Chains A and B, each alone.
Chain A
């Protein structure tokens, strides 16, 4: 029944999906935190930049961003991100696109977390003379992160699902392999079930685990 799987690297494709997810998650956590810091900073220009970035990027389809990294950045402007082989270039471009897109959502989640930190915390920090970067680093962000584990987990799951968009620029991840298999094998239902199960295995445990972590680390108030 599963003979048709011969010759397809199913695990390899899902491994690429996982890699895309992990690299983009790290990238967007860093860039998203920076954006959130900009959006609450005392410098009006940084606040403006953060707001404009988030509002523009959130409203452009991820597919447009990913296809742009290939057609626009790579093929027109010759950006290769230090890679030489086509597959590596496309992979890195996909990570870049996913990071640029996801960080807008990380920023928004984090900002709502910053809003849950009680007034007294920041007032006390200011009273003992901490500067703005110190307040952010030592007082606000640690508490904000703990209260947004849940929303960030949702962003991570959405990111896992969004990595399929990388198929649009030929990154050999799960969705691309699925399209190839559907075209070549007469086993539509079975193939779809396998890929659906694959994504269930990736998203559901992530959600359950991080949901448990969220309860564990939440600041009791």
Chain B
């Protein structure tokens, strides 16, 4: 996806420059009106008072009691989900490429099923199932439920990523492996999978962004004490500073996810440039399309 802004319009001459300036001014006025409205309504409800924002800058206890433990839970849930979902997804992805129609069909059904259902439904089911069929203590149950829901959904998305990664490899790799007498399992294990994992690294990292974002569902619906859930106790303790709390939580999410996204696209550029790889790359943008049910063109 390269930018080509100069294609859609000429290099501006004097008239175009004046027109652009006019549009800039108009847009600025509109933007200023919106900002003014936001600031005015914030000030009207006393949300701009320094005392509501100060704790985040001056009081380390806000961070120690609320934000950092919550951030830790968010990261733990996301990391656990990724670590469990990846091998499961790899297995499903490989089964989907099996030579046996029954295996292929079964794996395909599982993958399509879990991609077609909202994560929240999976989490609600896991939560209720754990409370009914196991004796996991109610304190840790939300974590189990969140991770289970995330694993079920993301394993099936990652299965598609793995499949796309393997299919993106040049056919010569399989041919060469066959020529030196490798068996199917060996080809997959020693030739295709190692290269596919490298090729799909950018997609994996950007799937991590999706996982991090979905942990917030557990906070809102299952009582999992992650970042979003820390807003209520925080604003109750620091004088109803709801807006300030939301701003801080949102900023943390944006920083975390922006770092991951940037890392993913850096990886992608590096892999595309690399001399050692086969040139097969499953880009960071591919996961959005692979995340929904239906047949997919294998890579972009």
Q: Do A and B assemble together?
A: yes
B132/A61 in contact, CB under 8 A = no
Q: Which residue of B lies closest to A59 (CB)?
A: B257
Binary contact readout B260-275 vs A (1 if CB under 8 angstroms, 0 otherwise): 0100000000000000
Our pick among B2, B41, B42 for the contact of A115 (Cβ within 8 Å) is B2
Contacts of A208 in B (CB 8 A): 294
Smallest beta-carbon distance A146→chain B, Å: 16
Contacts of A195 in B (CB 8 A): 121
Smallest beta-carbon distance B5→chain A, Å: 6
Q: Which residue of B lies closest to A67 (CB)?
A: B220
Q: Which among A46, A66, A68 has the highest number of chain B CB atoms within 10 Å?
A: A68
- Judged by a CB distance under 8 angstroms, whether A216 is at the interface is no
A40/B5 in contact, CB under 8 A = yes
- Judged by a CB distance under 8 angstroms, whether B187 is at the interface is no
B117/A43 in contact, CB under 8 A = no
Given A76-B47, A115-B2, A182-B124: A67 touches B228 (CB 8 Å cut-off)? yes
B23/A46 in contact, CB under 8 A = yes
Given A61-B253, A72-B242, A179-B221: A199 touches B117 (CB 8 Å cut-off)? yes
Binary contact readout A55-78 vs B (1 if CB under 8 angstroms, 0 otherwise): 110111111101110011001111
Given A112-B1, A161-B118, A175-B124: A154 touches B243 (CB 8 Å cut-off)? no
- Judged by a CB distance under 8 angstroms, whether A29 is at the interface is no
Q: Which residue of A lies closest to B125 (CB)?
A: A192
- Judged by a CB distance under 8 angstroms, whether A151 is at the interface is yes
- Judged by a CB distance under 8 angstroms, whether B194 is at the interface is no
How many B residues have CB within 8 A of the partner chain? 66
- Judged by a CB distance under 8 angstroms, whether B49 is at the interface is no
B120/A207 in contact, CB under 8 A = no
B246/A64 in contact, CB under 8 A = yes
**Interface positions of A (Cβ within 8 A of B):** 40-47, 49, 55-56, 58-64, 66-68, 71-72, 75-79, 105, 108, 111-112, 114-115, 119, 122-123, 126, 132, 135-136, 140, 150-151, 153-155, 157-158, 161-162, 164-165, 167-168, 174-175, 178-179, 182, 188, 192, 195-196, 199-200, 203-204, 207-208, 211
Q: List 11 A-B contacts (CB under 8 A).
A: A42-B16, A46-B24, A64-B216, A77-B42, A77-B243, A119-B7, A157-B293, A175-B120, A188-B132, A204-B293, A207-B293
**Interface positions of B (Cβ within 8 A of A):** 1-2, 4-5, 7-10, 12, 16, 20, 23-24, 27-28, 31, 41-42, 45, 47, 112-113, 116-121, 124-125, 128-129, 132, 209, 212-217, 219-221, 228, 231-232, 240, 242-243, 246, 249-250, 253-254, 256-258, 261, 285, 288-289, 291-295
